Chain A
Amino acid sequence: MAKTPVNFTLNGSPRSAFAGPGQNLLDFLRREVGDLTPKFGCGQGTCGACTVTIDGATHLSCLVLAESVEGRAIGTAAGLPDGATLDPLQEAFMDHFAAQCGYCTPGMLVSARALLDANPRPSRDEVIEAISGNLCRCTGYEPIIAAILAVAEGRARA
């Protein structure tokens, strides 16, 4: 079957890879591009473990056709650290025990980062709304909410 070349940026760097017919963006990023941070949870858009940003807006990569990201800017959790320096959200997630099994964490971080980039001082309700498309079966959400609010309120470790 014919493959389609796709040119895009991943976390700011230009990338090119071939997408298979009907291949979704999650599978494409993991298999053809080698970014393993977006996770496969349900393949139905229900769990949010595959959340990435496209041109800054969060998307469920399992429901995006890979070849449709031609020319777009993709962001994943792999782009959060600056070299060896973690994103304040990553530090806060550790400090607040906001990850247990860790499977939802990359998607959760992408949603949280998109929230704070758009709205640096969200209320608790806005945080809950922003992560409502990301399921976590371990933490009961409270540590995650606390971690995001800590960064928003400037209480997190720098």
Chain B
Amino acid sequence: MTTVETYPTLAEAARAMGGDAVYLGGGTLVMRAVNEGGAAPRLLRVTDPALREIRASGDTIRLGAGVTMADVLAHRDLAFLHAVARLVGGPQVRNMATVAGNLFAAHPYGDFAAALLALGARALPEGQGSARGVEELLRDRDRAGLIAAIEVPRPRDPRAFGFRKVSRVKPKGVSVLSIAACLPRESGRIRGARVAFGAMGPTPLRAPGAERALEGQNLDAESIDRAAAAATEGLSPPTDEIATEWYRREVAGVHLRRLLTEMGAS
């Protein structure tokens, strides 16, 4: 049996968290589990409207944990994330799915989290703790605690960020994989390349081989070739009902090449 506890603030919910409690964000995944009878006995929800706030200050945009994909799409300062948010689920899911929930979504979900990972976003925990990189959070999600907000660095040149989701059903299909790339350039050369895959592992993961192939290079046919060849280095993609490991390995480089070629042409 599931019981529900409602708190006015995240801080109060954090104090009530314990072994048998689950935090309810937009609910698209938690309520599925409730409907299937597999949810934790205690659902904790928070009514604080501040969780839906979006604040832009300088180079950083702060997304409250409860900001939905539709909220992202409605915000002008977040144009660089529109192509990502638009590809999460269908319209109803986008009205419900939160940005923090996406960080905790199990494979093959987490398309938005892959973008956050490539952008070098940081998650602000509830309480006194300092912001942690999304990469670090994804490495140990079970012990992440409650997230209050996500800080997203805005790419100085919007063309430095690219995203691609590969799915069999369009629109609204689940990811075979998704790719996010953040490739800031200084006098033509890539400085601080970050490439992340969604659905290529248990959580969104960076692609170290591709990043190494791109770092310090021009985004040209040669570097793109090398990045595509190294795309799956260090990754062991899972087999699920959407695709096999073999298939994901085969197509990851192909799609990375298409994304990088698009980004190189812009």
Contacts and interface: CB of A to CB of B under 8 A. Distances in A.
B208 to A, nearest CB: 34
Interface of B: 1-4, 6, 24, 27-28, 31-32, 34-36, 39, 43, 45, 70, 89-93, 95-96, 171-172
Interface of chain A, helix or strand or loop or mixed?
mixed
Interface residues of A, number: 28
A45 B91 CA distance: 11
A132 interface: yes
Contacts of A21: 1-4
A76 interface: no
Nearest to A44: B32
Contact of A63 (B2, B27, B91): B27
Given A21-B1, A57-B70, A64 B31 contact: yes
B3 A45 contact: no
Given A58-B95, A133-B89, A133-B90, A22 B28 contact: no
A39 interface: no
Given A21-B3, A111-B91, A132-B172, 14 more contacts: A1-B1, A4-B4, A21-B4, A22-B3, A43-B32, A59-B95, A62-B31, A64-B27, A68-B45, A129-B91, A129-B171, A132-B91, A132-B171, A133-B89
Interface centre among B24, B89, B92, B93 (most CB of A within 10 A): B92
Interface of A: 1, 4, 21-22, 24, 43-45, 48, 51, 57-60, 62-65, 67-68, 111, 114, 128-130, 132-134
Contact of B93 (A1, A45, A129): A45
Nearest to A134: B90
With a 10 A CB-CB cut-off, give which of B3, B70, B89, B95 has the most chain A CB atoms.
B95
A145 B31 CA distance: 30
A48 B35 CA distance: 15
B43 to A, nearest CB: 7
Contacts of B27: 63-65, 68
Q: Which of A1, A60, A114, A130 has the most CB of B within 10 A?
A: A60
A21 B6 CA distance: 12
A111 B45 CA distance: 27
A64 B96 contact: yes
A68 B47 CA distance: 9
A57 to B, nearest CB: 4
Name the 6 nearest CB pairs between A and B, nearest first: A133-B90, A22-B2, A63-B31, A132-B171, A43-B35, A57-B95
A63 B96 contact: yes
Most buried by A among B1, B27, B91: B91
17 contacts: A22-B1, A22-B34, A43-B32, A43-B35, A43-B36, A57-B95, A59-B95, A60-B28, A60-B93, A63-B32, A65-B31, A67-B4, A132-B90, A132-B171, A132-B172, A133-B92, A134-B90
B129 to A, nearest CB: 28
A24 B31 contact: yes
Contacts of A58: 91-92, 95
Contacts of A63: 27-28, 31-32, 35, 96
Given A63-B96, A65-B27, A67-B4, A130 B91 contact: yes
